[in-house]
């Protein structure tokens, strides 16, 4: 480093002639990626770029979440619980990034957003096909949601395929059954196009897994115990994300209706009542002291 001009010299081995070579920008498709922000406000409002990039990066992370949940289910179906937990752990870290990301959008004041909100017309995060795929993959199935995507055949097909695929919870319960846990037969044979609903008979299964894990004299299934806690982490993280979404929307538009026609804040509040793995929360009340 030159003290005089405060610069760092390029090392001799660094490739600088990039003709006919794979480049950083080429590998990442940056020409396309960085040219994909198209503000609609006229004149263009300074803060609309923030709004667009916030949601585009969310969609990129959701693409990776779907990728990881797809493979986690494949691994569960092939009894490779350890590798499946690695995929789930990655999803948890992505969820943390997505939640923290709301703080950037929260720098957008009501006045700033109001100046370009009309440019969104009927566009809304409610229409995110990837978000719906993630919800479906975690078990919050809703067949009527496919109507929103009838105008986009690719999105509709992807969501319909997800509707008919076992959720992460379905695959986990099937794995537990194969390991000798007394999972109710109706859950193993259920219609996977429907959302999972609380099943009281499943709670004793989890109660045994948790209580056995705390007893040194029992041949416990530690991987099953670990998986239960990982699923609880997933749901907690999802709820944190929903809550941060709710609070960001509240501070930005107050009680206005959503651009897609929803009731806005009230609609988001109701989402907080949805749960993916209810028995894993109920069991905490049942564990013996």
Q: How far apart are CA 251 and CA 289, in angstroms?
A: 43
Residues in the chain: 289
Q: Is 204 left (phi over 0), alpha (psi -120 to 50) or beta?
A: alpha
Query: Is there a contact between 193 and 52 (Cβ–Cβ < 8 Å)?
Result: no
Q: How far apart are CA 236 and CA 201, in angstroms?
A: 23
Q: For residue 143, what is the DSSP state?
A: G
Alpha carbon 260 to its chain centroid, in Å, reads 21
Does the annotation place 45 within a ligand binding site? Answer: no
Does the annotation place 117 within a ligand binding site? Answer: yes
| Orientation of helix 168-178 relative to helix 48-77, angle to 10° | 20
Does the annotation place 196 within a ligand binding site? Answer: no
Does the annotation place 259 within a ligand binding site? Answer: yes
Q: How far apart are CA 209 and CA 269, in angstroms?
A: 33
Q: Find, among 206, 51, 182, the residue nearest to 118 by Cα.
A: 51
Does the annotation place 21 within a ligand binding site? Answer: no
Does the annotation place 55 within a ligand binding site? Answer: yes
Does the annotation place 257 within a ligand binding site? Answer: no
Q: Which residues are annotated as a binding site for heme?
A: 245
Q: Which residues are annotated as a binding site for substrate?
A: 51-55, 113, 117, 259
Q: Which residues are annotated as a binding site?
A: 51-55, 113, 117, 245, 259
């Amino acid at each position: 480093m030159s003290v005089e001009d405060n610069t760092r010299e390029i090392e001799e081995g660094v490739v600088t002639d990039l003709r006919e070579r794979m480049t950083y920008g080429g590998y990442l498709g940056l020409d396309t990626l960085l040219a994909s922000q198209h503000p609609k406000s006229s004149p263009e409002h300074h803060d609309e770029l923030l709004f667009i990039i916030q949601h585009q990066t969310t969609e990129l992370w959701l693409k990776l979440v779907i990728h990881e949940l797809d493979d986690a289910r494949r691994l569960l179906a092939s009894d490779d619980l350890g590798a499946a937990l690695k995929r789930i752990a990655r999803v948890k870290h992505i969820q943390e990034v997505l939640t923290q990301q709301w703080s950037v959008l929260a720098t957008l004041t009501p006045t700033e957003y109001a100046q370009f909100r009309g440019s969104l017309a009927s566009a809304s995060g409610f229409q995110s096909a990837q978000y719906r795929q993630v919800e479906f993959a975690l078990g919050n199935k809703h067949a009527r949601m496919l109507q929103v995507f009838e105008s986009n055949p690719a999105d509709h097909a992807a969501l319909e395929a997800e509707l008919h695929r076992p959720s992460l919870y379905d695959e986990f319960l099937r794995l537990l059954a194969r390991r000798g846990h007394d999972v109710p037969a109706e859950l193993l044979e259920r219609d996977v196009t429907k959302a999972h609903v609380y099943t009281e008979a499943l709670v004793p299964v989890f109660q045994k897994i948790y209580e056995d894990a705390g007893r040194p004299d029992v041949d416990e299934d530690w991987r099953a115990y670990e998986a239960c806690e990982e699923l609880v982490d997933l749901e907690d993280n999802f709820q944190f994300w929903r809550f941060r979404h709710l609070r960001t929307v509240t501070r930005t538009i107050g009680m206005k209706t959503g651009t897609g026609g929803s009731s806005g804040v009230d609609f988001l509040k109701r989402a907080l009542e949805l749960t993916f793995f209810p028995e894993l929360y109920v069991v905490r009340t049942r564990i013996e002291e």
